[in-house]
Amino acid sequence: MDFQLQDTVVLVTGASRGLGAAMAVTLAEEGATVVAAARSKDSLDDVAARGQGRISVEVVDMRDETAVSGLVDSVVARHGRIDALVNNAGIAAAGTFAEQDPQVWKDTMTVNVIAPMLLAQAAGRKMIEQGHGRIVNIASTTGVRGKPHLVGYSASKGAVVRMTEALAAEWAAKNVQVNCIAPGAFATDAQKAVLESPDLLQRRVAKIPARRMADAAELMPLVCLLVSASSPFTTGAVFVVDGGESGKL
């Protein structure tokens, strides 16, 4: 399917590795002009090198609210507009809740909730002016079902899900679609410890009805669809992609 992204300017955060890098590269391969944002310039440069000349980079720390607030303006200054935003950047600090430092929660909320909010707000203003736009928030299955030892992460991703739904309703009449993807277990750098341990991998896969972890490529058609103008009536949706894990008892 041709997603017709040739004239689409997309900002992807957390684009230096894992799913974010795959999103940036895939969108560029589909013809989009992509701005890849993350903390690591070297990793971003590697991603840009795979983007057929369609990926530029922005080095930004999602904990820096001032830098985050100016990111959309930087994209617009460079390309004249912003058609889509993919809020992918996130952190997941594991730990025992009763002993967890409140600062861990503050950092998690800053990166996983405040940064996407600031970006959605800034991008949304531009999109409303333009008369169109798409925002894709990347949550997690932990935002749909809570997970032990990831209480802060679960809470933050639950907030992203609710933000998506409320914002979609608020901006639907403005022709700005806001949707959410909640990935499950994907074989990326984020799962390195699991992938490198046969015992951990076996136990993790046993929880998934599909009996395997997913490849990043399996998420890309959905990302492209939601970033494109092909689904203008799809907004406020939460797409769980987890091999059936969150749907079982």
List pLDDT tens digits, range 7-26. 999 999 999 999 999 999 99
Whether the pLDDT of residue 132 is over 80: the answer is yes
Q: What distance in Å separates the CA atoms of residue 219 and residue 87, rounded to the nearest whole number?
A: 15
Query: Which of the residues 153, 168, 178, 194 is marked catalytic?
Result: 153
User: 60 with 39: CB under 8 angstroms?
Assistant: yes
Helices (H), 5-114: 18-29, 41-49, 65-69, 71-79, 102-109
Q: What is the mean pLDDT of residues 168-183?
A: 98
pLDDT band at residue 189 under the 50/70/90 scheme: confident
CA distances, 80 to each of 75, 89, 127 (Å): 8, 24, 12
Give the pLDDT confidence of 56-79 residue by residue, as tens digits. 999 999 999 999 999 999 999 999
Q: Residue 191 has what pLDDT?
A: 75
Q: How far apart are CA 185 and CA 160, in angstroms?
A: 18
Query: H helices of 192-246, where?
Result: 192-195, 198-206, 220-227
Of 165, 160, 172, 163, residue with least CA distance to 134: 172
Asked if residue 1 has pLDDT above 80, the reply is: no
Q: What pLDDT sits at residue 236?
A: 98
Record the pTM: 0.95
For residue 196, the model assigns a pLDDT of 80
Whether pLDDT at 249 is above 70: no
Q: For residue 199, what pLDDT band results from cuts at 50, 70 and 90?
A: confident
Q: Average pLDDT, whole number, for the chain? A: 95
Q: Which CATH class is domain 9-241?
A: alpha beta
Is 153 annotated in the active site?
Answer: yes
